[in-house]
Structure 1
């Protein structure tokens, strides 16, 4: 509930403009149509530096990655097709309520080209976090296709590129400005937790994996808040997650430990119970200080976007601005 309220506040600043720039005939699209000689088309540059002609006001958008789905929903666009979340049959859990009308036409490994084609989309969005990147030529045969970001691109850059492809660049800038303002407010309220060593892990198959390194929505948000990371969680990630040996549990310790699983918060609670039975886990400093925070792994472990980043910020605010 806290996340839904905060997400609503995040987009409230652009609600007026979104009402005018919906996926139908909006004022922005109208000006773009005029600039394009009434063609209803505009040109954007994708992550490969290629020019792509896209609809000025797309009405049937398919998002083939978690970041592009997250971005579209944050901007008030309802995709008709989407990818399933990691380890989930539907969209990433934290997006499920907002993406009820989206049909699953892909997973992170590959898209179902037949299902996708049958939907007759007018715009396809993806990035290099998913296997669909390998079949871009086939996707382009179905509808204009925009690769919004390279692998490990900063999440804000990826979001801005998606906003541009949707004809909502200005709205995206307003949304990011609102988020950055919230980050500043939370940072100022950390008190005794300012600069705290903050660990983020996913519990899977009886062991932890490090997530949220680099410039993704987790690492970027922690850095913006001035929070530090354990030594093993610094620098760029070599993959979406990095397994940690049970013999090296001390490497995931910190002043705070944000703990999730490949699923929702209930899955995280189940994982924490399992972790409690692992030798030495209960000796970790974060555990003894009662500074373990179970989170919605579908948001924290996703590839990221403004809604995922908002969930991360909300969890940090709730946990770390209450006690020092």
Structure 2
């Protein structure tokens, strides 16, 4: 991620301090409790990290890291750690296309994200495995026999908190503080470019995802992309509050007009025809939406806006938001 300019750092001087405090609290703070020391202490080259599966000891500076999901891959690369192994997604490119090729070159593919090849993982002799309970909680016992396994509870919406866990496990807390400060500064720059907080809040934005084998998703307030929109201060239309558990409100192509807003971003997961994307954007309902008539509909890459789930992805999304919303 590029180093923020001096002006950006001046605005966020206090944010790095706040981030540092937050990151420190992310490790085990129960020194003397009998379940491990503090995150800053070391014991034979290890330190204790609080995870969804309890407190575990990991190397202070792991050298052979395997990541089993896209968020963990983004976190590691953002923090300057190149994993020795990673799972792939269902994309044709394997690793998500927004990641620089030179950064992912040489990373061993250990299988599809939901079904990692544990023999391949073990063969890499990792000293740390990063994933989440929602993805691989059922494989925790097997994984932990291979290497210390740090699991967050979930993925997506709590991506910032998860990043702090990843940074702690990787021994990269200082680097993480800089990443967070840079992101916050970038957010401020985008909001300013949009005309300030009031103007940004007055612009209602929707994120629509066409999914092969499923209904169309109108993204709610509790997911990765929603947090970025909220950070910039953008408004959201009332329909997003119908989202189940805050994640998404699913609609059929015959109700696509419910997704209308001042601005609509849309992505496609899977085949454009099988997901209904081609048919829907060619329909009368779509063409009559206010955002379409105003020229405020923007197709975006699903791998970046939905699947990336990290600060490197977020930084690129902020650039695209600014470019599209200032046209």
Same fold by TM-score, threshold 0.5 exceeded? yes
- For these two proteins, the number of residue pairs brought into alignment is 292
Q: 1:44 aligned to 20, 24, 49, which one?
A: 49
The residue number in structure 2 matching 1:18 is: none
**Given the superposition, is the C-alpha separation of residues 88 and 10 from structure 1 closer, same or farther in structure 2, using an over 3 Å criterion?**
farther
Contact 2:262 2:296 in 1 (8 A): yes
The reply to whether residue 190 of structure 1 matches residue 194 of structure 2 is yes
**Given the superposition, is the C-alpha separation of residues 162 and 149 from structure 1 closer, same or farther in structure 2, using an over 3 Å criterion?**
farther
The residue number in structure 2 matching 1:62 is: 66
Contact 1:206 1:275 in 2 (8 A): no
Structure 1 residue 88: Cα displacement? 4.5
The residue number in structure 2 matching 1:82 is: 86
**Distance between the aligned counterparts of 1:177 and 1:235, measured in 2?**
33
The residue number in structure 1 matching 2:168 is: 164
Q: Deviations over 1:290-317 (max 9, x none)?
A: 1111111101111611112122211111
The residue number in structure 2 matching 1:229 is: 236
Q: Deviations over 1:84-132 (max 9, x none)?
A: 12444612222262322222213232211111111111110001352x2
Q: Unaligned 5+ residue runs, structure 2? A: 10-37
The residue number in structure 2 matching 1:138 is: 142
Structure 1 residue 42: Cα displacement? 1.5
The residue number in structure 2 matching 1:315 is: 320
Contact 1:210 1:233 in 2 (8 A): no
Q: 1:100 aligned to 105, 117, 120, which one?
A: 105
Contact 2:96 2:308 in 1 (8 A): no
Q: 1:286 aligned to 288, 291, 299, which one?
A: 291
What does 1:110-149 correspond to in 2, within 5 Å? 110-130=115-135, 132-149=136-153
Q: Unaligned 5+ residue runs, structure 1? A: 1-6, 15-31
Contact 1:63 1:126 in 2 (8 A): yes
Structure 1 residue 149: Cα displacement? 3.7
TM-score of the pair, normalised by structure 1: 0.80
Structure 1 residue 267: Cα displacement? 6.7
